[in-house]
A and B are shown apart, each in its own frame.
Chain A
Amino acid sequence: MRNAATFRRSTALVGGSLALLLLAGCNEGGSDFDISSQIGPDPVLPAPQAALLPDLKVAPVIGWTEGQTPSVPDGLTVSAYASDLAHPRTVHTLPNGDVLVVQGQGPSGKPVERPKDLIRGFIMTIAQGGGGEQRESNLITLLQDTDRDGVVDNRSDLLTGLASPFGVAWIDDTLYVATTEAIVAYPYRLGETEITAEPEVVTPLPGGPINHHWTKDLALSPDGERLYVSVGSNSNIAERGMEAEKGRAAIWEVDRATGASRVFASGLRNPNGLTFHPETGTLFTVVNERDELGPNLVPDYMTSVQDGGFYGWPWSYYGDHVDDRVHPPRPDMVERAIKPDYALSSHVAALGMTFTMGSAMPDAYANGAFVGEHGSWNRGNFNGYKVIYIPFENGTPSGMAEDVVTGFLDGDDTRGRPVGLAIDGTGALLVADDAGNTVWRVAAADGSVTPEPIGTDRVGAGPADAAAAPAAVPATEDTAATDAGTNPAAADSEAAATADQEAPASPAAADASTAADTATPPQTEIAPATLPESGTQ
Chain B
Amino acid sequence: MEFTRFPYTFLQAGLVFMASSHSLPVAIGGPPLYAGVVPFATVPFILVLVSDIVYWRTSNLFWQHASEWLLLAASVMGGIAIALFLLEALFRRSIRPLLPGWSAAVLFGAAYAVGIVNNFVHARDGWTGVVFLGLGLSIATVVLLVLSALARRAPVYRRELGALHA
Contacts and interface: CB of A to CB of B under 8 A. Distances in A.
Given A324-B128, A325-B127, A327-B59, A53 B120 contact: yes
Contacts of A50: 124, 128
Interface residues of B, number: 31
Interface in B91-123: 101, 103-104, 106-107, 110, 113-114, 117, 119-121, 123
Interface stretch (A100-108, A109-117, A173-181): A109-117
Interface stretch (B6-14, B38-46, B65-73): B65-73
A7 B65 contact: no
B147 A10 contact: yes
A7 B147 contact: yes
A413 interface: no
Contacts of A113: 65
B154 interface: yes
Interface in A27-58: 50, 52-53
A238 B127 CA distance: 10
Interface in B125-141: 125-129, 131, 140
Contacts, number: 79
A53 B116 CA distance: 12
Contacts of B104: 7
Given A115-B69, A116-B68, A22 B126 contact: no
A512 interface: no
Interface in A473-493: none
A17 B111 CA distance: 12
B81 to A, nearest CB: 18
B61 interface: yes
Given A7-B147, A240-B61, A325-B129, A115 B117 contact: no
A15 B129 CA distance: 22
B151 interface: yes
A114 B68 CA distance: 7
Contact of B123 (A3, A114, A240): A114
A4 B107 CA distance: 12
A15 B110 contact: yes
B144 interface: yes
B120 A11 contact: no
A497 interface: no
A115 B126 contact: no
A22 B68 CA distance: 20
27 contacts: A4-B101, A8-B103, A11-B103, A14-B107, A14-B144, A18-B110, A18-B113, A25-B120, A50-B128, A52-B120, A114-B69, A115-B69, A115-B72, A115-B123, A116-B123, A235-B125, A239-B125, A240-B61, A241-B61, A292-B125, A323-B126, A324-B128, A325-B126, A325-B129, A326-B126, A327-B127, A328-B59
Closest 3 CB pairs of A and B: A325-B126, A327-B127, A7-B103
